[in-house]
Amino acid sequence: MYTRQIRNTESVRSILNNLLNQINYENVYQLPYNNNAQILAVLSRRRASRRIQSLTGRILMRKNVEREALRLQIHNRYIINLATDYIWNSHSTPSQRYQFTNLANNANNINQNRASRVRWIDNTSTLVNIIQINNTQITNNSFENDFFNGTRFDDNNTFESLILPAGF
C-alpha cells in the first residue's frame, strides 16, 4: 500500500516538499571526509566487488542527502534522488557544485593512478615457472610419470594410440 501511495504524484510532491523543507542544508553542503580525496578514494574501492566506483559531485552530494533523509526517516530512493537533483540543479551554487565535483575528480584520479601502477607488476618469475611446466619430471613408475608429466597424446608408442583411431 505504501508503494502505491509513493507512486501517486501528489504524494511524491508532498513528501519531497517536506524533505526539502526539513533538511539541514549545512549537512548537505558539507564535503565528505573533510575534503580528503585519499580517504574518499579508498572508500570507493572498498566494495565487495572488485570494481571501483567512479565518483561524481552529484553522487557525493546524494550521499549527504541520503544521510539527511534517513535522519528524517525517509527511506525511499526515488524521493532521495528527486531531492538530490533539485538541490544540485536549483539550490546549490556553482562554487558548491565545483567543490563536490573537484573532490570526486581528485578521488577518481587517485584510483586511476593506483590502478595503472598495480597493473605493471614484474611477473618474470611467474613466466619462468610457466615455461618450466614443459620440463619433464624424473619419476620411478608410469603412474607417477603420468601424474607429474601428464599424458602425451602425440606419443604413438602407447596402448591407446594402437587401439583408438587417429584424432582421439
More confident residue, 64 or 142: 64
- Mean pLDDT across the chain: 82
* Shared-domain flag, residues 108 and 63: yes
* Shared-domain flag, residues 89 and 144: no
* Shared-domain flag, residues 97 and 52: yes
Question: What residues make up the domain containing 147?
Answer: 124-163
3-state secondary structure 90-125: HHCCHHHHHHHHHHHHHHHHHHHHHHHHHHCCCCHH
Place of cell 594410440: 161
Q: How far is CA 91 from the centre of its chain?
A: 30
* Shared-domain flag, residues 42 and 70: yes
Number of domains in the chain: 2
Burial of 38 (0-12, 13-18, 19+ CB in 10 A): exposed
Q: What is the pLDDT of residues 125-159, one digit of tens each?
A: 777 777 766 677 788 888 888 777 776 666 666 66
* Shared-domain flag, residues 111 and 128: no
* Shared-domain flag, residues 59 and 133: no
